[in-house]
């Protein structure tokens, strides 16, 4: 990493700071009455999380980078943009299993971005890949009697996800709950945010089948679409897809929809890593950045 | 999910990020430049909106802005400014173009300094 600021950085910083100062000056002069009114009424207004006003009145510009850290805590940047760029620099151009160096770099980016501990390997177990093509799965029966008409929490969900249908068989670990009455939110979320991974291709699976099956059951994972930065905490609730499909994992309709991934000729890759969450603190579902 | 700024849906910053990323600068410097990009866009958008409003409507806009109430803010703008969406989008495009040109200039500086 260079120790000295480059010429282009110094030039741009000076130029853009000056531009903003001029804009601020013009803004406050031209619309003085409105800002004076705002200032005198600010106690009556709920000025809180509003980045909108903060950015206008912030004195950080002439101070950059000295006070940047404090400002950044108040006004978070679009982390997705950083994530996309950082991953673009690390990932290979073709979709293939990552080598150990790439894997380490990706984990560092994900740890840093999402503030959680992600692992390619846990308890000596790893998947065949952490970077692969994701395919579309169907809904899974959560309890005996669950069907496509009783499956959804809201009419909107039904309208959106009904078309994907129910898988003809049960998940690799059968039902998520014994009955509708005993089904918890966690059970329901495990089906909603599930992925199917190729457990059977994990190195060592055949030699330690029961240990692996137990390990993978509802194992929490982080799935990231590296092309749009969308990420979700999901769980492993099924095994698949078959190797011949050319796909490496499958996502529930809810997972695919959120990640904006599609099956068939439009299929695209995702990153998927185990999450080390021994106290089960992290909830399944989309992650906001 | 709520957007960070009321105009966030009108802004596409990936090209700026990638342009900045191509500069040979430190990570924190990259963040600093993106923050300057953000505040320049913000001030320009707010200025463009205020230019279109009457004194009383400016107060209402600033109130909604300070409260982060994007829904009411847009209702207000759509009532008071014809084609508010498009006007804001044009402002963002104009400022972004200008800042992208600045980056191109900065890249030339880098090349010049290398040739010495």
* Angle formed at CA B14 by CA B9 and CA B17, multiple of 5 degrees: 130
Report yes or no: A240 and A127 within 8 Å, Cβ to Cβ. no
CA distances from B73 to A32, A45, A169, A246, B57 (A): 20, 14, 50, 48, 11
pLDDT of residue B78: 95
ipTM of the complex: 0.91
CATH superfamily, with its number, for domain A80-287: RlpA-like domain (2.40.40.10)
Rounded to an integer, what is the distance from CA B104 to the centroid of its chain?
Answer: 18
Per residue in B65-113, pLDDT tens? Answer: 887 788 999 999 999 999 999 999 999 999 999 999 999 998 887 666 5
Please list the residue range(s) of chain A that carry CATH number 2.40.40.10: 80-287
- Residues A269 and A272: their CA atoms lie apart, in Å, by 10
Per residue in B43-70, pLDDT tens? Answer: 999 999 999 999 999 999 988 888 778 8
pLDDT means over runs of 10, chain A (289 residues): 68 91 86 81 53 52 38 48 79 93 92 92 97 96 94 90 92 95 96 97 94 97 92 96 94 94 89 96 91
Set of chain B residues whose Cβ sits within 8 Å of the Cβ of A51: 4-5, 68
A-interface mutation test, from B50, B65, B66, B77, most A Cβ less than 10 A away: B66
What pTM was computed for the model? 0.58
Terminal Cα-to-Cα distance of chain A (whole angstroms): 27
- If DSSP codes are grouped into helix, strand and coil, which group holds residue A53? helix
Q: Alpha helix locations (H) across A115-260?
A: 155-161, 185-192, 209-216, 253-259
- Residues A23 and A271: their CA atoms lie apart, in Å, by 42
Closest CA to B5 of B64, B55, B56, B57: B64
Residue from the list B18, B35, B42 with its beta carbon closest to the beta carbon of A85: B18
The verdict on A96 touching B (C-beta cutoff 8 Å) is no
Tell me whether the omega of the peptide bond preceding residue A159 falls within 30 degrees of 0, making it cis: no
- Residues A260 and A208: their CA atoms lie apart, in Å, by 35
């Amino acid at each position: 990493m260079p120790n000295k600021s480059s010429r282009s950085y110094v030039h741009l910083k000076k130029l853009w700071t000056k531009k903003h100062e001029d804009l601020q000056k013009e803004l406050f002069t031209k619309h003085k009455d409105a800002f004076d009114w705002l200032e005198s009424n600010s106690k009556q207004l709920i000025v809180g999380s509003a980045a909108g006003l903060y950015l206008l009145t912030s004195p950080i510009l002439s101070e950059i980078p000295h006070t940047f850290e404090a400002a950044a805590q108040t006004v978070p940047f679009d982390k997705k943009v950083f994530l996309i760029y950082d991953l673009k620099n690390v990932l290979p151009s073709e979709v293939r299993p990552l080598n150990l160096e790439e894997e380490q770099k990706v984990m560092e980016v994900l740890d840093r971005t999402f503030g959680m501990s992600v692992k390619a390997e846990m308890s000596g177990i790893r998947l065949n890949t952490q970077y692969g093509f994701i395919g579309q799965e169907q809904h899974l029966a959560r309890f005996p009697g669950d069907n496509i008409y009783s499956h959804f929490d809201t009419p909107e969900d039904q309208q959106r996800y009904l078309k994907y249908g129910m898988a003809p068989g049960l998940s690799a670990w059968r039902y998520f709950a014994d009955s509708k009455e005993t089904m918890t939110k966690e059970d329901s979320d495990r089906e909603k945010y599930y992925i199917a991974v190729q457990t059977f291709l994990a190195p060592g699976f055949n030699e330690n089948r029961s240990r692996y099956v137990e390990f993978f059951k509802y194992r929490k994972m982080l799935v990231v679409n590296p092309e749009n930065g969308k990420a979700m905490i999901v769980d492993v609730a099924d095994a698949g897809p078959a190797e011949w499909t050319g796909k490496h994992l499958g996502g529930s309709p809810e997972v695919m929809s959120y990640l904006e991934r599609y099956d068939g000729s439009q299929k695209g890759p995702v990153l998927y890593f185990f999450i080390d969450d021994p106290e089960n603190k992290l909830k399944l579902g989309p992650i906001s950045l | 999910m709520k957007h960070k700024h009321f105009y966030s849906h009108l802004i596409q910053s990936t090209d700026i990020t990638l342009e900045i990323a191509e500069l040979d600068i430190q990570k924190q410097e990259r963040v600093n430049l993106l923050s300057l990009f953000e505040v320049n866009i913000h001030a320009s958008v707010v200025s463009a909106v205020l230019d279109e409003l009457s004194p009383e409507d400016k107060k209402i806009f600033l109130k909604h802005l300070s409260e982060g109430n994007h829904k009411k803010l847009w209702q207000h703008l759509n009532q008071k400014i014809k084609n508010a969406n498009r006007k804001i989008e044009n402002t963002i495009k104009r400022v972004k173009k200008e800042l992208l040109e600045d980056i191109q200039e900065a890249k030339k500086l880098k090349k010049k300094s290398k040739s010495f």
